[in-house]
């Protein structure tokens, strides 16, 4: 069903916004049907040279090429 009010997802702990598809978990909590990617993933930059995601450590495929 679609969320009728804002709440917090029981699976990923991210906010559920009104209108998002949610389902009730076996624990009785509401959760996203498909949880969004974590904020960490969304904020991860992409290297403009090799076009791979730069990891948390700052590495990308540029260093792995040689």
| Three-class SS state of 64 | helix
Secondary structure of 19-51 in HEC code, one letter for each residue: CCEEEECCCCCEEECCCCCCHHHHHCCECCCCC
Residue of the chain from 35, 44, 46, 59 that contacts Zn ion (CB under 5 A): 35
Residue of the chain from 3, 7, 20, 50 that contacts Zn ion (CB under 5 A): 50
**How far is C-alpha 34 from the chain's CA centre?**
10
The nearest distance, CB 27 to Zn ion, in angstroms, is 13
**Is residue 30 part of the contact set for Zn ion (CB under 5 A)?**
no
Residues that bind Zn ion (CB under 5 A): 9, 11-12, 32, 35, 47, 49-50, 60, 62
């Amino acid at each position: 069903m679609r969320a009728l009010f804002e709440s917090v997802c029981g699976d990923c702990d991210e906010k559920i916004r009104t209108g998002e598809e949610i389902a009730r978990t076996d624990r009785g909590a509401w959760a996203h049907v498909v949880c969004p990617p974590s904020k960490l993933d969304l904020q991860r930059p992409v290297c403009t040279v090799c076009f791979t995601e730069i990891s948390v450590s700052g590495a990308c495929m540029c260093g792995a090429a040689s």
